[in-house]
Amino acid sequence: MLSILLPIASLAALGLSAPLAATCDKTLLRSITDSYISAQTDGKPSALTSIASNLAYFENDKTADITKGILSSALKIDHKRSQHDTTNCSTYTELIITDTKHPYVIGTQMHLTDNQVSKVETIITDKGDWLFNATGTLNWASKEKWDPIPEAKRDTRAVIQAAADAYCDIFHDKTAKVPWGTPCARLEGGSYTGKGTASDSCNVGIPSGVELTNRRYVIDEEYGTVDVFMSFAGIPDTHEFRLEGGKLRYVHTMTVTGK
Ligand SMILES: *[C@@H]1O[C@H](CO)[C@@H](O)[C@H](O)[C@H]1NC(C)=O
Ligand SMILES: *[C@@H]1O[C@H](CO)[C@@H](O)[C@H](O)[C@H]1NC(C)=O
């Protein structure tokens, strides 16, 4: 309605970005990712806050019952990091659980509609999944620095998303222009390409002829990150990227190749 009544300049004056873009409060998004982490820690799906009554819930790309899924198991979380997309009202959380009883590495996207979580999608990797080694994931992830990027140095959403898209495209289109950075490291399952040198590159060993489709993005400009849930030639997958100065710095992947 506002867009009909007011010129764009007045919308800007009201602090609204674009007429069609939803905007979400970071405090709300943070309270939701905090509640997600508590729910997983305690094994209590009901601890999730701001859930819409018609919530859609998926585990590894299949519709599931949230009351009987992974959130109903209490897990001892060794590492967690949440990113928040205030433009598209969504969140992404990475969890690493090394508990020898059952180690997991989990990625979860939550998408909001009208300030309520309307969709939760989770990628659950464990033994048998691509390069799975939760101890390795924790070891490498805890050495990396995913700190806030000073405001003047932040990349735009468009730049961040384009980098993720180029990286995903290059699996089937070798002309895709990926903004490779150095150093850059890829953490895939528990395996790491980084050697700790200034010349570490992520432009190593990318297969060809693979289509990465049905991409769902969560972009956090404050941290230079974008997480992409997608179908990796039919396999449930998440790739999360961090950019610094327009260039790739880190890539984290989880790919559900096991059962
Ligand atoms: C927001 O997310 C929806 C659903 O994932 C997607 O279709 C849309 O393109 C996204 N919009 C922006 C501005 O990122
Ligand atoms: C898993 O990662 C840890 C830490 O990097 C390493 O010590 C261990 O050898 C790895 N295990 C396997 C089976 O690769």
Same domain? For 113 and 170 the reply is no
Same domain? For 35 and 133 the reply is yes
Q: pLDDT band for position 23 (50/70/90)?
A: confident
In a domain, 4, yes or no: no
Mean pLDDT of 190-218: 96
State the amino acid at position 225 in one-letter form.
Answer: T
Give dist(CA 239, CA 150) in Å, integer.
24
Strand 225-232 versus strand 235-244 pairing type: antiparallel
Instruction: Read off the tokens for 236.
Output: 């449930």
Per-residue pLDDT at 1: 35
Q: Which of 114, 142, 170 is the last residue of a domain?
A: 142
The larger pLDDT score, comparing residue 4 to residue 81, is at: 81
How much is the mean pLDDT over the chain? 93
Per-residue pLDDT at 21: 54
Residue 110: strand pairing partners: 91, 120
Give dist(CA 231, CA 236) in Å, integer.
5
Mean pLDDT of 161-171: 98
Burial 119-142 (b: 16+ CB within 10 A, else e): bbbbbbbbeebbbbbbebbbebbe
Cα of 205 vs centre of ligand 2, distance in Å, is: 21
Ligand 1 neighbour 161 (Cβ under 6 A): no
Ligand 2 neighbour 142 (Cβ under 6 A): no
Mean pLDDT of 83-90: 97
Q: Which ligand is nearest to the CA of 22?
A: 1
In a domain, 199, yes or no: yes
In a domain, 20, yes or no: no
Cα of 29 vs centre of ligand 2, distance in Å, is: 34
In a domain, 8, yes or no: no
Give dist(CA 159, CA 163) in Å, integer.
6
Mean pLDDT of 198-205: 95
Q: pLDDT band for position 13 (50/70/90)?
A: very low
CATH of the domain at 76: 3.10.450.50
Cα of 248 vs centre of ligand 2, distance in Å, is: 25
Q: For 70-110, give the DSSP string.
A: GGGS----SEEEEEEETTTTEEEEEEEE--TTS-EEEEEEE
Same domain? For 248 and 158 the reply is yes
Same domain? For 159 and 237 the reply is yes
Per-residue pLDDT at 76: 98
pLDDT tens digits, 92-137: 999 999 999 999 999 999 999 999 999 999 999 999 999 999 999 9
In a domain, 21, yes or no: no
Instruction: Give the range of the structural domain holding residue 157, as residue numbers without chain letter.
Output: 151-255
In a domain, 49, yes or no: yes
State the amino acid at position 212 in one-letter form.
Answer: L
- Specify the number of domains making up the chain: 2
Q: How many Cβ atoms from other residues are within 10 Å of residue 9's Cβ? A: 8
Same domain? For 112 and 162 the reply is no
> In this structure, what DSSP letter does residue 209 have?
S
In a domain, 2, yes or no: no
